[in-house]
Structure 1
Amino acid sequence: MLVSGTVVADSETVVEDGAVVTADGKIAFVGAASAAREAYPDHERRRVDIVAPGLVGGHVHSVQSLGRGIADDVPLLEWLEDHVLPMEAALDAESTRVAAALGYLECLESGVTTVVDHLTVDHASEAFEAAGEVGIRGLLGKVLMDRDAPEGLLEPADAALEESERLIERYHGAFDDRLRYAVTPRFALSCSETLLRGARALADEHPGVRIHTHASENRDEVAEVTARTGMRNIEWLDEVGLTGPDVTLAHCVWTEDAEREILAETNTCVTHCPSANMKLASGVAPVPDYLDRGITVALGNDGPPCNNTLDAFTEMRQAALLQSVDRLDATALSAPTVFEMATRNGARAAGFDDIGALRPGFRADLVGLTTEVSRATPIHDPISHLVYGAHGDDVEFTMVDGDVVYADGEHRTVDAAAIRRRARELATQFQPE
Structure 2
Amino acid sequence: MPSILLKNATLLATFDDAGTELADAGVYIEDHLIKQVGASKDLPTHADQVLDLRDHLILPGLVNTHHHLYQTLTRVVAQDADLFTWLKTLYPIWAKLTDEAVYISTLTGLAELMLSGCTTSSDHLYIYPNDCTLDSQIRAAQDLGIRFHAARGSMSLGESQGGLPPDRVTENEAAILQDSQRLIETYHDPSEHSLLRMVLAPCSPFSVTADLMRETAHLARQYSQVRLHTHLAETLDEEQFCLAKFGLRPVDYVESLGWTGCDCWHAHCVHLNAAEIQKFAQTGTGVAHCPTSNMRLASGIAPIPQMTRAGVKVGLGVDGSASNDSSHLLAEARQAMLIQRIAPHQYSSSMPLGGRGGFAGDPAAMSAREALRLATRGGAATLGRHEIGSIEVGKSADLIAIDLNRLNYAGAGHDPVAAAVFCHSFRVDLSIIHGRIVVERGQLLSLDMTKPLQRHREISKMMLTS
The yes-or-no answer on 1:161 pairing with 2:190 is: no
The letter of the residue matching 1:366 is: L
What's the offset of the Cα at 1:146?
A: 1.0
Residue of structure 2 equivalent to 1:291: 308
The yes-or-no answer on 1:7 pairing with 2:23 is: no
The letter of the residue matching 2:167 is: E
Distance 1:212 1:95 in 2: 23
Q: 2:401 aligns with which of 355, 368, 387?
A: 368
CA contact 1:102–1:420 (8 Å) conserved in 2: yes
The letter of the residue matching 1:41 is: H
Q: 2:420 aligns with which of 381, 386, 395?
A: 386
Q: 1:73 aligns with which of 62, 80, 86?
A: 80
Describe the shift of the 1:348–1:88 C-alpha distance in structure 2 as closer, same or farther (beyond 3 A): farther
Aligned to 1:127, the other structure's residue is in SS state helix
Distance 2:83 2:178 in 1: 31
What's the offset of the Cα at 1:340?
A: 0.9
Residue of structure 1 equivalent to 2:26: 19
Describe the shift of the 1:54–1:332 C-alpha distance in structure 2 as closer, same or farther (beyond 3 A): same
The yes-or-no answer on 1:41 pairing with 2:51 is: no
What's the offset of the Cα at 1:348?
A: 1.4
CA contact 1:88–1:120 (8 Å) conserved in 2: no
What's the offset of the Cα at 1:278?
A: 0.4
Task: Flag the structure with higher helix content.
Answer: 1
Q: Alpha carbon RMSD of aligned pairs, Å?
A: 1.6
What's the offset of the Cα at 1:371?
A: 1.3
Q: 2:365 aligns with which of 332, 352, 374?
A: 332
What's the offset of the Cα at 1:351?
A: 2.3
CA contact 2:69–2:110 (8 Å) conserved in 1: yes
Unaligned stretches of 5+ in structure 2? 158-162, 346-360
Distance 2:278 2:199 in 1: 24
The yes-or-no answer on 1:29 pairing with 2:36 is: yes
What's the offset of the Cα at 1:392?
A: 3.6
Taking structure 2 as the reference length, the TM-score comes to 0.89
The letter of the residue matching 2:143 is: E
Residue of structure 1 equivalent to 2:127: 121
Task: Give the structure with higher Rg (CA).
Answer: 2
Q: Out of 341-350 and 169-178, give the one that drifted further.
A: 169-178
Residue of structure 1 equivalent to 2:351: none
Aligned to 2:46, the other structure's residue is in SS state coil
Distance 2:47 2:386 in 1: 30
CA contact 1:117–1:141 (8 Å) conserved in 2: yes
CA contact 1:68–1:304 (8 Å) conserved in 2: yes
Aligned to 1:90, the other structure's residue is in SS state coil
CA contact 1:111–1:392 (8 Å) conserved in 2: no
Distance 2:365 2:321 in 1: 27
Distance 2:283 2:94 in 1: 33
Distance 1:54 1:193 in 2: 37
Q: 1:196 aligns with which of 189, 213, 217?
A: 213
Q: Out of 377-386 and 337-346, give the one that drifted further.
A: 377-386
Distance 1:364 1:137 in 2: 11
CA contact 1:70–1:431 (8 Å) conserved in 2: no
Distance 2:259 2:449 in 1: 37
Aligned to 1:305, the other structure's residue is in SS state coil
> Within 5 Å, which residues of 2 pair with 1:1-400?
1-4=4-7, 5=9, 6-10=11-15, 12-36=19-43, 39-48=44-53, 49-83=56-90, 85-122=91-128, 123-147=133-157, 148=163, 149-173=165-189, 177-326=194-343, 327=345, 328-378=361-411, 379-393=413-427, 395-400=428-433
The letter of the residue matching 2:222 is: E
What's the offset of the Cα at 1:19?
A: 0.4
Describe the shift of the 1:131–1:169 C-alpha distance in structure 2 as closer, same or farther (beyond 3 A): same
Unaligned stretches of 5+ in structure 1? none
What's the offset of the Cα at 1:260?
A: 1.7
Distance 1:54 1:96 in 2: 25
Q: Out of 261-270 and 150-159, give the one that drifted further.
A: 150-159
CA contact 1:66–1:427 (8 Å) conserved in 2: yes
CA contact 1:57–1:115 (8 Å) conserved in 2: yes
Aligned to 2:92, the other structure's residue is in SS state helix
CA contact 1:2–1:22 (8 Å) conserved in 2: yes
Distance 2:426 2:385 in 1: 23
What's the offset of the Cα at 1:419?
A: 1.2
What's the offset of the Cα at 1:226?
A: 1.2
What's the offset of the Cα at 1:432?
A: 6.6
Aligned to 1:60, the other structure's residue is in SS state coil
Distance 1:89 1:137 in 2: 28
Aligned to 2:390, the other structure's residue is in SS state coil
The letter of the residue matching 2:151 is: G
Residue of structure 1 equivalent to 2:357: none
Distance 2:167 2:93 in 1: 11
Distance 1:61 1:266 in 2: 26
The letter of the residue matching 1:3 is: L
What's the offset of the Cα at 1:141?
A: 1.2
Residue by residue, what CA displacement relative to the aligned partner does 1:216-244 show, whole Å, maximum 9, x if unpaired?
A: 00100111011111111001111101111
Describe the shift of the 1:421–1:409 C-alpha distance in structure 2 as closer, same or farther (beyond 3 A): farther
What's the offset of the Cα at 1:43?
A: 4.1
Q: Out of 265-274 and 332-341, give the one that drifted further.
A: 332-341
Distance 1:303 1:335 in 2: 24
> Within 5 Å, which residues of 2 pair with 1:393-408?
393=427, 395-408=428-441
Distance 1:174 1:257 in 2: 34
Residue by residue, what CA displacement relative to the aligned partner does 1:351-409 show, whole Å, maximum 9, x if unpaired?
A: 2210011111000001111111122123222221122114142x112111001112224
